[in-house]
């Protein structure tokens, strides 16, 4: 049997790109998705050349249910019965500050991407997972922000608490279909996350990671790979993974 496909949202940067790299280097075929089409194409070429795997690109905005459904309907027929794992990774924080000064457009972006986007993609991909005769799994990228709240984190934290709850709910609802569900909740990791959160302000973004060693994208890819490669009878429900210098959302040992 040819190698199964791993379907990754948000593969144009950060954790998603690192997952694509690691799964491809271990021989898995991929469906890589994100809005930035050119990045997907260059990642596709790099992974196919370096690892000899098949990489399908599909560019869509997870916030748009119609676009999500169309993109998944248009996947090539060779993917029938071949998608084994969905990694729900696409997500973002926008802004950080007290709730009474919150910007509703930022709130909508976070809720529409992190919660509704994850739901739209899951609803469209679950039927494909059900067709796969073998290891079936959904890996949701949650956050420490889905376990605790911190000053100024309000709506982002709420959206990641929703991911945490949805991971638990999916585990119950998908049990009859033998689909494992795992929630990975990282602490501070240096990716494009803070540049996006602070709307392109690189100095503010860099300050987040000053004075300690944050997680890097590869740490999360290795975690996802570990949970995806457990024996059939084992599911890792939930992993909270932090930089050594971070005790919780608000306690960081900075030099
Ligand atoms: P990056 O900003 O580096 O990557 C985010 C990815 O999400 C990009 O590929 C982006 O693709 C994609 N994405 C964002 N919005 C959309 C959208 N509307 N439609 C489709 N794709 C979208 O951040 P990270 O890799 O750090 O973040 C990945 C996940 O990890 C997120 O869910 C984040 O909340 C979570 N997380 C991050 C932590 C951190 O400290 N970095 C810690 C804990 C969790 P494109 O822009 O091309 O669409
Ligand atoms: C990203 C980590 O601590 O900024 O989810 O919320 S944090």
- How is the chain split into domains, by residue range? 5-241
Can 156 be counted among the known catalytic residues? yes
Could you give the count of Cα atoms lying within 13 Å of 2 in the half-sphere of its Cβ?
Answer: 13
> Please, what is the average pLDDT of the chain?
98
Q: What is d(CA 166, CA 161) in angstroms, rounded to the nearest whole number?
A: 9
How far is Cα 207 from Cα 194, in angstroms, rounded to an integer? 9
Give the pLDDT score at 1: 58
16 and 34 Cβ atoms separated by less than 8 Å? yes
**Is 5-241 a CATH 3.40.50.720 domain?**
yes
- CB 191 less than 6 A from any atom of ligand 2: no
Reply yes or no on whether the pLDDT at 125 is more than 70: yes
pLDDT recorded at residue 2: 77
Q: pLDDT exceeding 90 applies to what percent of the chain?
A: 99
pLDDT of residue 228: 98
Atom of ligand 2 nearest to the CA of 157: 6
| pLDDT of 81 higher than 70 | yes
% of the chain surpassing 70 pLDDT = 100
In this structure, the residue with its CA closest to atom 39 of ligand 1 is 189
37-56 in b/e form (b: 16+ CB < 10 A) is eebbeebbeebeeebebbbb
Choosing from 5, 120, 156, 225, the catalytic residue is 156
66 φ/ψ angles, rounded to the nearest 5 degrees: -65, -45
Residue with CA nearest ligand 1 atom 31 = 91
Burial class (CB in 10 A: 0-12, 13-18, 19+), 108: middle
Q: What is the mean pLDDT of residues 39-45?
A: 98
């Amino acid at each position: 049997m040819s190698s199964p496909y791993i379907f990754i949202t948000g593969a144009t940067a950060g954790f998603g790109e690192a997952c694509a790299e690691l799964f491809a280097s271990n021989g898995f075929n991929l469906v890589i998705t994100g809005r930035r089409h050119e990045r997907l194409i260059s990642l596709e070429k790099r992974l196919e050349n370096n690892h000899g795997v098949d990489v399908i690109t599909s560019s869509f905005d997870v916030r748009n249910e119609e676009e999500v459904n169309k993109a998944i309907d248009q996947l090539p027929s060779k993917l029938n019965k071949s998608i084994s794992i969905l990694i729900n990774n696409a997500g973002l924080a926008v802004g950080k500050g007290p709730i009474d000064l919150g910007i509703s457009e930022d709130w909508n972006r976070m809720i529409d991407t992190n919660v509704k986007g994850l739901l739209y993609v899951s609803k469209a991909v679950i039927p494909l997972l059900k067709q796969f005769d073998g290891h079936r799994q959904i890996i949701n990228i949650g956050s420490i922000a889905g376990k605790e709240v911190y000053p100024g984190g309000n709506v982002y934290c709420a959206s990641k608490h929703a991911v945490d709850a949805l991971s638990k709910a999916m585990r119950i609802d998908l049990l009859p279909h033998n689909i494992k569900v795992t929630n990975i909740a990282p602490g501070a990791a240096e990716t494009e996350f803070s540049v996006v959160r602070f709307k392109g302000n690189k100095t503010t973004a860099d300050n987040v990671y000053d004075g300690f060693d944050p997680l890097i994208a590869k740490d999360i890819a290795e975690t996802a790979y570990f949970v995806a490669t457990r024996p059939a009878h084992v599911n890792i429900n939930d992993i909270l993974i932090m930089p050594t210098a971070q005790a919780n959302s608000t306690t960081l040992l900075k030099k």
